[in-house]
Amino acid sequence: MVSTTAGRVRGRIRGGVAAFLGIPYAAPPVGAATFQEPRPHEPWDGVRDATSYGPTAPQVGYPAPIAAILDNVVELGDDYLNLNVWTPDPSSEGRLPVMVWIHGGAFARGSNRIAIYAGDTFARDGVVCVGVNYRLGVPGFGAFPDAPDNRGLLDQIAALEWVRDNIAAFGGDPANVTIFGESAGAMSVASLLSSPRVTGLFGRAAMQSGNGITVADVDDARKVTARLAERLGVPHAAAAFGEIPTADLLKAQTQAVLEFTMNPDPEIWGKTVTDIGMGIMNIFPVLDGEILPDIPQNRIADGAGAGIGLLAGWNATEFRFFFAPTGVLEAATPEMARAMLSRAGMPTALLDERLADGVSAGDALCEAITAIAFADPTRALAELRPESPTYLYEFAWESPVCDIRAGHAVELPFVFDHLEAAHALTGPDPDQSVADAMHAAWVRFAKTGDPGRARHTEAADPHVFG
């Protein structure tokens, strides 16, 4: 049993690792609270059971081709602003380094209860690992004139404040916290690294397959919720949306995504500030003047996050994950590829260059998006931090599943050293030596700030895993 600021919790110990699962760090965001800042959870009497995972944020599952290879769990329930703690030393004397995991899922899917994300392997290696849930989709990132913006980021900040106030009781050192995330989680890390609201909550950060540029102006972001209000027949106001049943809101959000995919007209849906939105509808972080006063990359260029160690990288063939299983890779023509880039606001120069080299349209399209949305902005972010410890990597191990190769998300089970839980993603024979090296680098980074690789300022090329 461990005492937290809201009450005592009881976990379980297996293999020398104590797990405390589903601990609420904020009050349930339901009803009128759905679109408000996170509030402290009411204290509980007695001992709260923390031996099983808690609920997930409301969401719909991945479409069939992606769901077949990437695990996701949806378990609805009000208390979904919860976190999990894995520790080798559930006492107040441990003072171990802490890692806080922020999951991905395009700000619309994912949770802290996916098997690949279990932090027992980090605890096994001397790190207290915390996995958090946060509001997704419209509750987390929809923009309204009568509600605070970036509620999903506010949830992440609330979770980090919980870590600051409670993690010592689990053996962790609140003065030695590393945040890490993948995809939307990595974009969240970039946002937190740049935000004036998180000073002192973490000292290191790791970004896996994200960037610091995909944000929207508030007015553009509000176009999405205005369109949803039309579809739902309610006023464009958080107060009205708070009265809509969750199932109806998810249905409308799903229909809006389909409508956007068919016609991503920025007059209807708004656009990202940088015009590199990867074709994703504007339900992600916005420039609200408080949590995000400017594009994260601009804030970092001005010194935000200076001195905080950063480990950042990308997968060699990110977009094969999206285009190979869905058939886009084989169906793509040069004209189709150019149109897809243009619709997402991306330049076509690299695509045309690769087509001229004789690369197929599908492969050239994947290479272009990987560079434009992941590799190039990650390199650019590193260049803005010449005085701060920054390390770059590229993940290159190739999965045989659906020809995704080193696609988006494939590195996840390697970072967590949970290859046994990811055969649908990696195939039956993933390379354990790559997991050993990658996981060890993340652990060392959390413990010492040095992943055991050359800094970006000392090496022209990123370290390659696989």
Are residues 246 and 76 in contact, defined by beta-carbon separation less than 8 angstroms? yes
pLDDT of residue 460: 80
In sequence order, the 6+-apart residues with CB closer than 8 A to the CB of 458 are none
Are residues 413 and 116 in contact, defined by beta-carbon separation less than 8 angstroms? yes
DSSP SS3 for 225: helix
| Beta-carbon-side half-sphere exposure of residue 291 (alpha carbons within 13 Å) | 27
pLDDT digits (tens, 9 = 90+) for 222-253: 999 999 999 999 999 999 999 999 999 999 99
DSSP 8-state code for residue 404: -
Please report which confidence band the pLDDT of residue 39 belongs to, taking 50, 70 and 90 as the band edges: very high
Tell me how far apart the alpha carbons of residues 20 and 52 are, in angstroms, rounded to a whole number: 8
At residue 115, φ and ψ (nearest 5 deg) are: -60, -40
Q: What percentage of the chain exceeds 90 in pLDDT?
A: 89
Gap between the terminal Cα atoms of the chain:
41
Q: Tell whether the model's pLDDT for residue 456 goes beyond 90.
A: yes
Tell me how far apart the alpha carbons of residues 297 and 218 are, in angstroms, rounded to a whole number: 18
State the catalytic residues. Answer: 183, 318, 408
What distance lies between CA 320 and its chain's CA centroid?
19
What angle, 0 to 180 degrees and rounded to 10, lies between the N-to-C axes of helices 361-370 and 334-343?
20
Tell me how far apart the alpha carbons of residues 231 and 254 are, in angstroms, rounded to a whole number: 12
At residue 450, φ and ψ (nearest 5 deg) are: -125, 110
Q: Tell whether the model's pLDDT for residue 92 goes beyond 90.
A: no
pLDDT digits (tens, 9 = 90+) for 327-346: 999 999 999 999 989 888 88
Are residues 371 and 278 in contact, defined by beta-carbon separation less than 8 angstroms? no
pLDDT digits (tens, 9 = 90+) for 283-303: 899 999 999 999 999 999 999
What would the mean pLDDT of 256-271 be, rounded to a whole number? 85
Mean pLDDT of the chain, nearest integer:
95
At residue 465, φ and ψ (nearest 5 deg) are: -100, 120
Buried/exposed code over 315-335 (b: 16+ C-beta within 10 A; e: otherwise) = bbbbbbbbbbbeebbeebeee
| Beta-carbon-side half-sphere exposure of residue 409 (alpha carbons within 13 Å) | 27
Write out the DSSP string of 50-94. -SS-----S--PPPHHHHTTS-------S--SEEEEEES--STT-
